[in-house]
Structure 1
Amino acid sequence: MTNPPRRMKIGINMVQNGAHNSGWRHPDADAGIANDFKGYARIIKAAEEQKIDFMFLADGAAVRIPHKDAEELSRHGHIDRFEPLTLLAAVAAVTDRIGLICTASTTYNEPYALARKFASLDHISDGRAGWNVVTGWSEEEALNFSRDALMDHSERYERANEFFDVVTGLWDSWDDDAFVRDKAEGRYFRPEGMHLLNHKGPHYQVRGPLNLARSPQGHPVIAQAGGSGPGRDLGARIADIIYTGQKDKGIAQEFYADMKARVAAAGRDPDKVMIMPGIMPIIGTTEAEAQAKLDEMKSLVHPAVGLQLISKMFGDLSDRDPEELMPLPLPESNGVKSAIVQWERRLERTPMTIRQVYEEISISSGHNVCCGTPAQIADLMQDWFEDGACDGWNLMAPYMPGGAEDFLTLLMPELRRRGLAQTDYAGDTLRSRLGLELRPNLRSGDAQSASDEAIAVSH
């Protein structure tokens, strides 16, 4: 029996107001879509019609744009956004098959509360939930959670590993068949089907059990995006999907090979972990039309916005001429270390002006921008996919809704024509549709996990 042909996994990254920082200024943009559920829902339902595997919501619990005052901040469009789990619960009610993945930080949440929220979303959506595990990278978030500064990078990842183990342990609080709800006998669940966690670690103490039955997927799908050494190690240990942001195919191939090797070293099957970079397609019926669209998008970036946007990674360059070459080396940072390393390598090979750097980062949030016809963009996506650089892509729109409509109506049919994208959904859950196995309950049948301690009950 031959294996089915390998196909790309495709996600839609629903960045509020579009991934381009100034996309809200585009003449065809809906500038208020960040707070318009019906507008979001229309795009996600259109993505489902095109058989996109999942939608993804990045998130941060702060206005994370560096700024001196409200006047400086007022030119940015990435300010307002829905709380993602709330939004995905609403999206679950108006969709049927598309996966629902969002970010939640291990630094600014408690394991029990987050385990309960994602398990609830998995039940509500009939097994379509996914958690993008992040540690948080911005000083602005720290200031919203009773901290004076961002926690050190190594400590964030130490906590993240323990946090994840607590959450997944709580997801295994009950056997799949624990809740018998036998009216005649008067028994709601089998006692041996309950498993207390009783976790006591350096950062968390959590007793359990989770007050929710085991969810349809066992565990929601796990995504992760850390590109530093500790981030890669965490992803290799826990993730089903690795989000990444390479622009250069060679660097992408290096990352792909490294992550697959780390997954294997962690005792997992590398073929069951998907590497998915982000891509922003700028699509035209001709190459010239696409380039004109890209030039228009770049023209929307106000210099003050561009310089401010790159200040955390590249330092304060406001006193320099934007036409100067970007100075190297880049300053040290406690934030997204992998992005700094990538940019240093790229600028060493191909020097760019300060303006070129901020225009590119503004338009793509650091991801790959591909400009051309549907066939040209599909060529690039196929080349990376078939040449060991990725297992699929996260599609990003420069503005909403038109930027998303372009790749849904023009690019997706071309990928399906080539046999690279699915023609229909298969399987009952997001896990099964992505070719992943149901996560078994590792504590099922563990006689020691059902505590004899009295459980206090209050009403």
Structure 2
Amino acid sequence: MPTSKKRIHLAAFMNAGPMGTVGWRHPEADPGFLTAEYYTSVARTLEAAKFDLVFIPDSLAVPRSLGGSFAPAVTHGAGTPRLDPIPVISIISAVTSRLGVVSTSSTGYSAPYSVARSYATLDHLSGGRAGWNVVTSFQDAEAQNYGQPALPARPERYARAEEFLEAVTRLWDSWGDDSVIADRASGVFGDAETVHAIDFVGRHLSVQGPLGVPRSPQGYPVIVQAGASPEGRDFAARWSDVIFCSHDSLESAVEFYADVKRRAADHGRDPDQIKILPAIAPILAPSRAEAEEKHRVFERLVDPVAGLSRLAYHINFDLTAYDLDGPLPDIDVQGVQGHYREVVERARRTGMTIRQLGSWYGARTEGDMLGSAAEVADRLELWVEAGAADGFMVIATQVPTAFAEFAEQVVPELQRRGVFREEYEGTTLREHLGLRRPERGEWRNRARSGGAR
């Protein structure tokens, strides 16, 4: 058994909607994803287990990537529906006191001022537990909901995201930490000399500022990103506090981890101040053989079209243009590079056809985390010891039982080994993750412009 004593971080990945492609079909799945209790009950379970955070992804469209139609996504519940994640994490933060709350907002189809205000507000109201998952969007259907015929090319999306992040962080810094005086006797509410307009003008965006919300408890809410392309890796290495990734093998995870940490160092950042969390989808049972059988039962719920719909949604590419019983061709995808590389890696290793990849993708379990709690804990420690992870993004095959099983079985095993907290040692999400609070003006160290405006 690995003997690493490096502290493991745990995040929970939960859709604001049905889970996965077939998770909603599982007999133990709660169908109440349109109710507040669905989310708050899971949040209480996660907080009792001392998870660092809960993470809510998002998309701004009903997927149309398979056959140019939204029918497969609606029919099979693949990538739809999706509730607005900001109210969801707001509700979660109201019933918890330590659990971090992270949601997704797009730099492609949002305004910097609105994003800065939403997450600064949530950071205040939650006592410093908010995080923003930065995405550039990855579906043409999203572009078409916001007046564009198609998704811009990746370089263009990242160029806008670069300006967006600089504008948002400068807005978060537009108030000083001590700008609010609130002196009733003198009648002075704020120190105007410490509040500044940002007067940001870029090629894609312009924002005057200052923000209408004082500097938040964490300075900057935690910034999360999941870019796997070369542009995405470089962007994440400069801006992110947490990186969410997906790998089909330990070897590819090690390569990604080393590359991003090296890029961070090259940009003058402390690599330990970026936490990399690969996705895992554990299947727990008393033995490996029983876990494999449990997974086969889950796989039998997958319609190949449902899996292909989910895959096409993630990579923003219509796979029906090819023979579904033939091999996966080399394609230039504009969607999620991490998912595509995971699929290519699996296809090359196994020789799966596109149709078979759909069946696999609909019930995939990243990280090979099948077996008893001890076996899964061994695997988690192995990945950390090998330099593949600082922690993990736990994906539930069905909600809420898969989260409850992990909390009841794996978490105590990790605590027994001394690699996971038994109690929260701080109050903010940055404290949970071992991240320092950014000083005012930190954006200058991350932005490509170096502040030249």
Give the AA of the match of 1:30: D
* 2-structure distance, mates of 1:368, 1:317: 28
Count the aligned residue pairs: 436
Change (3 A) 1:23 1:428: closer
1:105-144 correspondence runs (5 A): 105-144=106-145
Residue of structure 2 equivalent to 1:209: 210
Note closer, same or farther for the CA distance 1:16–1:179 as it changes in structure 2 (3 Å cut): closer
Q: Counterpart of 2:256?
A: 255
CA distance in 1, matches of 2:71, 2:429: 43
1:42 is displaced (CA, Å) by 0.3
- Separation (CA, whole Å) in 1 of partners of 2:255 and 2:153: 27
Q: Report the alpha carbon displacement of residue 52 of structure 1 after superposing the two structures with TM.
A: 0.5
> 101-110 vs 185-194, which deviates more?
185-194
Q: Distance in 2 between matches of 1:307 and 1:258?
A: 30
Residue 405 of structure 1 corresponds to 404
Q: 1:408 to 1:91 in 2, by over 3 A?
A: same
Counterpart of 1:181? 182
**How far apart, in 1, do the equivalents of 2:425 and 2:309 lie?**
45
Q: Do the aligned residues in 2 keep the contact of 1:311 with 1:317 (CA within 8 Å)?
A: no
Q: Aligned in 2, Cα 1:356/1:406: closer, same or farther, shift over 3 Å?
A: farther
Report what 2:146 is aligned to.
145
For residues 308-362 of structure 1, the C-alpha deviation after alignment (integer angstroms, 9 at most, x for no partner) is 33346475358856xx5x5143322222234333433443333224444222211
Structure 1 residue identity aligned to 2:61: A
Paired residue type of 2:128: G
Where do residues 319-330 of structure 1 align in structure 2 (5 Å cutoff)?
320=323, 324=325, 327-330=327-330
Deviation at 1:84, TM superposition (A): 0.9
> Does structure 1 residue 164 correspond to structure 2 residue 165?
yes
In structure 2, the residue matched to 1:447 is none
Q: Unaligned 5+ residue runs, structure 1?
A: 445-459
Higher deviation after alignment, 200-209 or 47-56 = 200-209
Mapped contact 1:307–1:318 kept (Cα < 8 A): no
| 1:316 and 2:319 aligned | yes
* Percent identity of paired positions between Structure 1 and Structure 2: 39
Distance (Å, rounded) in 2 between the aligned partners of 1:139 and 1:87: 25
Segment drifting more, 177-186 vs 223-232? 177-186
CA distance in 2, matches of 1:34, 1:65: 22
In 2: Cα distance, 1:303 partner to 1:153 partner: 29
1:132 and 1:223 in contact (8 A); partners too: yes
The aligned residue for residue 14 of structure 2 is 14
User: Which residue pairs with 2:343 in the alignment?
Assistant: 343
CA distance in structure 2 between the aligned counterparts of 1:18 and 1:428, rounded to whole angstroms: 30
Aligned match of 1:221: 222
Please name the residue that 1:235 is paired with. 236
Aligned residue in 1 for 2:333: 333
Greater shift in the superposed pair: 94-103 or 426-435: 426-435
Cα pair 1:17 1:399 within 8 Å, conserved: no
Change (3 A) 1:297 1:93: same
Q: Deviations along 1:86-120, whole A, 9 cap, x unmatched?
A: 11111111100000111111001000011000000
Partner residue in 1 for 2:56: 57
Matched residue, 1:358: 358
Q: For 2:218 and 2:347, locate their aligned partners in 1 and report how far apart those are by CA, in whole Å.
A: 43
Query: 3-state SS of the aligned residue for 1:262?
Result: helix
2: CA distance between counterparts of 1:162 and 1:195? 19
Using the alignment, how far apart are the partners of 1:317 and 1:443 within structure 2? 46
Cα distance in 2 between the residues matched to 1:367 and 1:5: 23
Compare 407-416 and 98-107 and name the one that shifted more. 407-416
3-state DSSP of counterpart to 2:146: coil
Residue 48 of structure 1 corresponds to which residue in structure 2? 47
Give the corresponding residue for 2:441. 442
SS in structure 2 at match of 1:278: strand
Q: Which amino acid aligns with 1:316?
A: L
Contact 2:18 2:80 in 1 (8 A): no
Q: Distance in 1 between matches of 2:373 and 2:353?
A: 29
Where does residue 375 of structure 1 map in the other structure? Answer: 374
Q: Secondary structure at the match of 1:11?
A: strand
Q: Distance in 2 between matches of 1:140 and 1:369?
A: 32
Larger Rg: 1
Deviation at 1:422, TM superposition (A): 1.0
**1:197 matched to 2:194:** no
Amino acid at match of 1:283: L
3-state SS of 1:433 partner: helix
Contact kept, 8 Å, 1:17 with 1:30, in 2: the verdict is: no
Structure 1 residues 122 and 98: alpha-carbon distance in aligned structure 2, compared to 1, 3 A threshold: same
AA aligned to 2:274 is: V
Report the alpha carbon displacement of residue 379 of structure 1 after superposing the two structures with TM: 1.1
**Aligned equivalents of 1:213, 1:60: Cα separation in 2:** 29
1:431 aligned residue = 430
Q: Residue 84 in 1 paired to residue 82 in 2?
A: no
Which deviates the most, 352-361 or 78-87?
352-361
* C-alpha separation in 1, matches of 2:122 and 2:358: 37
Contact 2:199 2:207 in 1 (8 A): yes
Listed as ranges, the gaps of 5+ residues in structure 2 are: 444-453
Alignment match, 1:74: 74
1:65, CA displacement in angstroms? 5.1
Write the distance in 2 (CA, Å) between the matches of 1:236 and 1:435. Answer: 17
CA distance in 1, matches of 2:110, 2:320: 35
Equivalent pair of 1:101/1:131 in contact (CA under 8 Å): yes
**Counterpart of 1:288 in structure 2: which amino acid?**
A
Q: Give 1:259-270 correspondences, 5 Å limit.
A: 259-270=260-271
Equivalent position SS for 1:184: coil
Contact 1:98 1:128 in 2 (8 A): yes
